[in-house]
Amino acid sequence: MFEMKPEYYIGIKMIDEQHKQLFTYADEAYSRL
């Protein structure tokens, strides 16, 4: 459902990794509903 798309990357590795993890959490939460 939720996925990190290339246009969401901002070029700062630490922040991009955090955003990627947030998408993972959102996808897991949605799948549990």
Q: What is the pLDDT of residue 15?
A: 98
Radius of gyration over every alpha carbon of the chain, rounded to an integer in angstroms: 10
Q: What is the pLDDT of residue 11?
A: 98
Secondary structure, 3-state, 1-33: CCCCCHHHCCCCHHHHHHHHHHHHHHHHHHHCC
The letter for the amino acid at 22 is L
Q: What is the pLDDT of residue 21?
A: 97
Q: What is the pLDDT of residue 1?
A: 82
Q: What is the pLDDT of residues 1-33, one digit of tens each?
A: 889 999 999 999 999 999 999 999 999 999 999
**Residues 23, 7, 12, CA angle at the centre, nearest 5°?**
75
Q: What is the pLDDT of residue 2?
A: 87
